């Protein structure tokens, strides 16, 4: 009986012979992947309030946690880093628990404007008994309507203005938002889940933490890490509250193997982050332009994107089918994308691939009914992970 090991091998082989253009994913370097499979994966470490670890055998794992926190602080220039949260979503729960009381209001970008589903309705607001209202947003230009935000802020008196999107192509005017928030003493939380690697590389919203109280997000989308979450702050009181709201509140153990792997990724980011992030942003802009030239409609011409994502227009449906059909057709040709019309350049850039005209031409051929599977397999074989030691 080896069903599961066989399936894992099949999955590895499958994904190693395809090109991944999913905006929410990235690829781990070999050392980061090895850390995930280390002995740490089945160990505990928990320093109690008394200062004593409740578990033995932890002399290295304690150091791994401290080193990883220090690397993250250095990378984002923050005073404090909470690396224990096991996803961007949990980091957001911790941040909201640390800044809001029951029945209070928050503002976030609506789902139909690319905001995160968890911040509305039956998800986080209902779990924590808080209310969320939408930040006025101009989808066509991908911009917050700042004057309207100022009005809504006065009406709603939010405890938190929560920024960030899952469909995320343009940064915000953070100084303006801070001023609006300050008028009613709202905390500013920046959910950079998608763009944490681009922020670390200083190519997208480098002022995210400067003008916010908490910068949080996933460690595995544009960041080089394993799946997990992080929350950064310069505010000692918030840091204390976030620590209190993490272990034994939103989760218990924090997966030591994941922390070690995140530390490896942080070292890679410190060394290569700026070059990688700048290339990612260049590639998405170029991919948007090239796709449009091949008559695959991409939104937000002529700038297309300032991040790792480009967004297909629903106008493609009459020629190529809906986003699900497009994704299925591409996957038949060895190109993996999500089913929501996002195309991401983070992983292929990390694989050292920058020829976006060729990428657009492969996509165009696949969608036009040609079989380019062998071309993608050959291309994938020629690539190996860049920006790691």
Ligand X SMILES: *Cc1c(COP(=O)(O)O)cnc(C)c1O
Is-cis flag, bond preceding 109, omega within 30? no
Instruction: Assess 125 for contact with ligand X (CB under 6 A).
Output: no
- Interface stretch with ligand X, choices 95-103, 158-166, 232-240, 368-376 (CB under 6 A): 158-166
Indicate the residue among 24 and 98 with the shorter CB distance to ligand X: 24
Residue selected from 29, 205, 218, 257 as contacting ligand X according to rule CB under 6 A: 218
The DSSP code for 251 is B
Indicate the residue among 166 and 316 with the shorter CB distance to ligand X: 166
Q: In angstroms, give the least distance from the CB of 364 to ligand X.
A: 28
Instruction: Let me know: does 218 contact 229? Beta carbons within 8 Å.
Output: yes
Instruction: Assess 191 for contact with ligand X (CB under 6 A).
Output: yes
Q: In angstroms, give the least distance from the CB of 19 to ligand X.
A: 21
Instruction: Assess 172 for contact with ligand X (CB under 6 A).
Output: no
Burial class of residue 331 (count of CB atoms within 10 Å of its CB; 0-12, 13-18, 19+): middle
Indicate the residue among 153 and 165 with the shorter CB distance to ligand X: 165
Instruction: Let me know: does 364 contact 298? Beta carbons within 8 Å.
Output: no
The Cα 249–Cα 255 span in angstroms is: 16
Residue selected from 20, 78, 193, 307 as contacting ligand X according to rule CB under 6 A: 193
Instruction: Assess 76 for contact with ligand X (CB under 6 A).
Output: no
Binding to ligand X in span 79-108, by CB under 6 A: 87-89, 92
Q: In angstroms, give the least distance from the CB of 264 to ligand X.
A: 18
Binding to ligand X in span 225-254, by CB under 6 A: 229
The DSSP code for 135 is P
| Token code pair at residue 116 | 């995160």
Instruction: Assess 261 for contact with ligand X (CB under 6 A).
Output: no
Indicate the residue among 180 and 230 with the shorter CB distance to ligand X: 230
Instruction: Let me know: does 360 contact 294? Beta carbons within 8 Å.
Output: yes
Cβ-proximal residues to 302 (8 Å cutoff; 6+ apart), any chain: 289
Indicate the residue among 95 and 330 with the shorter CB distance to ligand X: 95
Indicate the residue among 171 and 229 with the shorter CB distance to ligand X: 229
**DSSP E strand boundaries for the chain:** 19-20, 80-82, 105-108, 131-134, 137-138, 143-144, 160-163, 187-191, 214-218, 229-233, 309-311, 335-336, 342-344
Q: In angstroms, give the least distance from the CB of 262 to ligand X.
A: 12
Instruction: Let me know: does 232 contact 72? Beta carbons within 8 Å.
Output: yes
Residues that bind ligand X (CB under 6 A): 24, 87-89, 92, 116, 164-166, 191, 193-194, 218, 229
């Amino acid at each position: 009986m080896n069903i599961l090991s066989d399936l894992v091998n099949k999955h590895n082989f499958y994904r190693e012979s395809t090109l991944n253009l999913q905006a929410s994913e990235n690829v781990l370097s070999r050392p980061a992947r090895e850390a995930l499979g280390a002995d740490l994966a089945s160990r505990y470490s928990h320093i109690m309030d008394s200062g004593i670890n409740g578990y033995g055998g932890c002399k290295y794992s304690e150091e791994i946690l401290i080193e990883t926190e220090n690397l993250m602080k250095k990378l984002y220039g923050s005073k404090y880093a909470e690396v224990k949260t096991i996803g961007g979503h949990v980091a957001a729960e911790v941040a909201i628990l640390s800044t809001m009381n029951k029945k209070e209001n928050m503002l976030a970008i609506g789902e139909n404007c690319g905001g995160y589903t968890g911040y509305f309705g039956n998800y986080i607001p209902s779990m924590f008994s808080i209310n969320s209202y939408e930040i006025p947003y101009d989808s066509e230009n991908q911009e917050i309507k700042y004057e309207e935000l100022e009005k809504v802020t006065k009406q709603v008196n939010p405890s938190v203005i929560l920024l960030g999107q899952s469909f995320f192509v343009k940064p915000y005017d953070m100084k303006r938002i801070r001023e609006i928030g300050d008028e009613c003493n709202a905390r500013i939380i920046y959910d950079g889940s998608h763009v944490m690697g681009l922020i670390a590389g200083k190519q997208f919203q480098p002022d995210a933490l400067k003008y916010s109280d908490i910068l949080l997000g996933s460690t595995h989308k544009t960041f080089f890490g394993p799946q997990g979450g992080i929350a950064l702050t310069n505010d000692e009181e918030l840091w204390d509250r976030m620590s209190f709201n993490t272990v034994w509140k939103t989760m218990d153990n924090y997966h030591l193997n994941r922390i070690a792997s995140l530390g490896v990724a942080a070292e890679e980011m410190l060394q290569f982050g700026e070059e990688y992030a700048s290339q990612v942003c260049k590639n998405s802009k170029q991919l948007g332009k090239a796709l449009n030239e091949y008559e695959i409609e991409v939104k937000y011409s002529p700038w297309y994107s300032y991040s790792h994502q480009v967004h297909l227009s629903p106008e493609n449906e009459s020629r190529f089918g809906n986003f699900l059909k497009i994704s299925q057709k591409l996957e038949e040709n060895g190109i993996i994308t999500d089913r929501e019309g996002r195309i991401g350049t983070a992983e292929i850039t990390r694989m050292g691939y920058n020829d976006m005209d060729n990428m657009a031409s492969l996509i165009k051929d696949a969608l036009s009914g040609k079989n380019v599977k062998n071309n993608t397999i050959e291309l994938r074989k020629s690539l190996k992970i860049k920006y790691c030691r």
